[in-house]
């Protein structure tokens, strides 16, 4: 029988295995589904990969931050320094989905990128979508709404003829 020693600030109770919070588990499942994982076993394994060394009562926000950090680190290794930046997670996820990375199972994210086949890593790098140029504030030209382009063209064509008739000398 285990005895429990308590202190006003510290409890020395034996550690009891805890299940992750349902909302935390749901948040992690949703995160990894965005990477194309659908098998329940893969999703549970990936959630365990994130929560494995941490306190299982993490909030969904803290668990997602940890998941993003771990996956970004993995993507940075796979894609190399050329793709590291603020859009790494989004662009890396797109490349991962495009090459069907989830077909390899949860282990693909849990393995060191250096242990993955070079051809597969190259395919992921080639699948990274091109980045968009940075937004630059500029002024947009005024646009005119033309409901009937044919009538507008006819009006422009007839307008010079009407203005010429007004300027012609009268006899």
Domain extents in the chain: 22-127
Which stretch of 3-12, 36-45, 110-119 has the lowest confidence by average pLDDT? 3-12
By the 8 A CB rule, do 92 and 72 touch?
yes
Instruction: Give residue 20's pLDDT.
Output: 59
Indicate if the pLDDT at residue 162 is higher than 60.
no
Whether the predicted pLDDT of 18 surpasses 70: no
Locate all alpha helices (DSSP H) within the chain, ordered by sequence. Answer: 22-33, 40-51, 60-79, 88-98, 107-110, 118-127, 149-167
Burial of 139 (0-12, 13-18, 19+ CB in 10 A): exposed
* Longest CA span, the chain: 125
The reported pLDDT for the residue numbered 160 is 67
107 contact partners, CB below 8 Å, separation of at least 6 = 45
Q: Give the pLDDT confidence of 90-136 residue by residue, as tens digits.
A: 888 888 898 888 888 888 888 888 888 888 888 888 888 887 777 88
Task: Give 5's pLDDT tier (boundaries 50, 70, 90).
Answer: very low
Q: Looking at residue 170, what is its pLDDT?
A: 54
pLDDT of residue 9: 45
Interior/surface letters 54-91, b for 16+ CB within 10 angstroms, e for the rest: eeeebebeebbebbeeebeebbbebbeeebeeeebbeb
**Number of residues written out for the chain:** 171
Mean pLDDT for the chain?
Answer: 77
Instruction: Give every CB contact of residue 94 below 8 A, 6+ residues apart in sequence.
Output: 127, 128, 129
Banded pLDDT at 16 (limits 50, 70, 90): very low
Cα 72 to Cα 39, 91, 121, 154: the distances in Å are: 22, 10, 15, 59
């Amino acid at each position: 029988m285990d005895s429990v020693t308590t202190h006003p600030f510290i409890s020395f109770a034996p550690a009891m295995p805890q299940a992750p919070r349902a909302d935390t588990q749901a948040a992690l499942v949703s995160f990894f589904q965005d990477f194309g994982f659908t098998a329940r076993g893969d999703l549970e394994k990936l959630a365990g990969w994130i929560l494995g060394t941490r306190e299982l009562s993490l909030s969904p926000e803290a668990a997602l931050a940890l998941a993003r950090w771990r996956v970004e680190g993995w993507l940075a290794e796979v894609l190399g320094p050329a793709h590291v930046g603020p859009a790494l997670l989004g662009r890396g996820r797109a490349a991962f989905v495009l090459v069907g990375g989830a077909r390899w199972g949860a282990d693909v994210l849990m393995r060191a990128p250096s242990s993955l086949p070079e051809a597969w890593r190259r395919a992921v790098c080639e699948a990274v979508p091109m980045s968009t140029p940075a937004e630059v504030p500029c002024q947009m030209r005024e646009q005119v709404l033309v409901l009937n382009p044919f009538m507008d063209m006819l009006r422009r064509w007839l307008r010079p003829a009407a203005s010429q008739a007004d300027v012609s000398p009268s006899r």
